[in-house]
Amino acid sequence: MLPTLPFDPSYVLIGGTWRPTADTLPLVNPSDGSALCEIARSSEADVDAAVTAAHSARDGAWCKMSALERGRCLTRLGQLVLEHTDLLTTLETLDVGKPATQARADAIALARYCEFYSGAADKVHGETIPYLDGYTVYTLREPHGVTGHIVPWNYPMQIIGRSVGAALAMGNACVLKPAEDACLTALMFAYLAKEAGFPDGALNVVPGLGSEAGAALARHPGVHHLSFTGSVQTGKTIQMLAAENVVPVTLELGGKSPQIVFEDADIDAALPFLVNAGLQNAGQTCSAASRILIHRRIYDTVAARMADAYRAKIIGPASNDPDIGPLISTKQKTRFETLLKAAHDLPCIAETPMPDDLPPNGAYVQPRLYGPVPSDHPMAQDELFGPVQVLIPFDTEEEAVKIANGTIYGLVAGVWTESGARQMRLAKALKTGQVFINNYGAGGGVELPFGGVGKSGHGREKGFEALYSFSILKTVAARHG
């Protein structure tokens, strides 16, 4: 059952006021299929009102706040997020079906983003540029104005933190469109932002369908920058809509990320990262390590140990805090199971046991480990967004790099080797936005710029890079003689 909330979850927050929409959508708990509540089905008019409110904030109180004061708002917001970690954890557990420990980690990451960007708000400098005699030239970093944030359901809190947190730090007014499958923590975040003292309209939240509220936000001529995380297909649509208004867009679109295990790797250290990076959040992670490339000399050992780990995992309702919860929805379950049919000709070497008492209407799927898998097989090329990994043997470093770079994606890669020279070579050779050496994900640090190449998208969020993305560089050239 949904805990009591300090706002009506079927409302939108526009210009600091909670208000109903003409229509609503049902929100479902994916752990058992039960109805949680109704949420807003924002229309084009609601989105337009949110953009207008954001403009008012940009032209009014929000615009007048100094970087220091913006930072202090974010400091208070981070503190409030920490104080409400239990509630945010419960909401994400119910809404996303995310096991409680993983949901709690997301809430703490959200607080960390607020802390990081609170401290960074007044530390983004322009520069002076030596120029002709009689001139003084300098640059200013200014906010875009109104930024649109279209967020998916897999890591709502983390993605809101990295994108809205950075945009607010730079003084943008934000319109946030959370996913229709998971929007409760977005609403709670907006409630806390109001409590933290952000002026009305600095952060507006309009839940609703992608094809309605999402598309209305992406094509709105009053939006000056778009940040999108989700599928490649929707990312393309959003880039085309952004092109109509000639506004910049940051796209984070997922991947088919490899971890490469060389024969000299510390297998004990690697093992938890190899498995958990595929199964965390039931595999619904853009940077999931869905391909494990293993040197042929150690292939059997690593495959056997990963298979044991799969068999030892526990599946269950998210509130029981298992290793693996359900997928986000029965729609995603159907999509995943359809894509998984491609594996019919592959050896499945391990499955996680499915308990008999799983709620029948939950969106559970069985985690599966396949190997050896040819690197050009659809299961080694397509993003399934579920708890499945493929093992790919290789013989040489050159071959490993070729396989790792051989998909349409390029989000992250992991390399396990004790050879320093090989570490350096691979860090350069891998065509991804992040390379992890003898780890995978580096604990998700908010400080670390993140984003992809190829069909994984473009632009960077997290770290200071996000502050540059969420601002415009203006050059001022003063001729004074």
Judged by the rule CB under 6 A, the positions of this chain that interact with ligand NAD are 150-154, 177, 179-180, 210-211, 214-215, 218, 229-231, 234, 237-238, 252-254, 286, 335, 383, 385
Q: Which amino acid type is present at position 63?
A: C
Q: What single DSSP character describes residue 36?
A: E
Which residue number, 238 or 346, has a Cβ lying nearer to ligand NAD? 238
Question: Annotated catalytic residue: which of 37, 286, 383, 461?
Answer: 286
Which residue number, 145 or 255, has a Cβ lying nearer to ligand NAD? 255
Task: In angstroms, give the least distance from the CB of 262 to ligand NAD.
Answer: 28
Q: Which residues are 412's β-sheet partners?
A: 434
Which residue has tokens 């094809």? 211
Which residue number, 193 or 251, has a Cβ lying nearer to ligand NAD? 251
Which residue number, 80 or 150, has a Cβ lying nearer to ligand NAD? 150
Residue nearest to ligand NAD (CB): 210
Judge whether 448 and 432 are in contact, CB under 8 Å. Answer: no
Which residue number, 331 or 402, has a Cβ lying nearer to ligand NAD? 331
Instruction: State the burial class of residue 55 (Cβ atoms within 10 Å of its Cβ: 0-12, 13-18, 19+).
Output: middle
Q: What single DSSP character describes residue 4?
A: P
Task: In angstroms, give the least distance from the CB of 77 to ligand NAD.
Answer: 22
d(CA 200, CA 61): 8
Question: Annotated catalytic residue: which of 92, 115, 212, 252?
Answer: 252
Alpha helix stretches (DSSP H) within 18-84: 44-59, 61-64, 67-83
286 among known catalytic residues: yes
Task: In angstroms, give the least distance from the CB of 202 to ligand NAD.
Answer: 21
d(CA 327, CA 324): 9
Supply 362's token pair: 């939950």
Judge whether 185 and 91 are in contact, CB under 8 Å. Answer: yes
Task: In angstroms, give the least distance from the CB of 151 to ligand NAD.
Answer: 6
Task: In angstroms, give the least distance from the CB of 276 to ligand NAD.
Answer: 17
Q: Which amino acid type is present at position 281?
A: N
DSSP element (H, E) containing 86: helix 85-96
Q: Round to the nearest angstrom and report the end-to-end CA distance of the chain.
A: 71
Q: Which residues are catalytic?
A: 252, 286
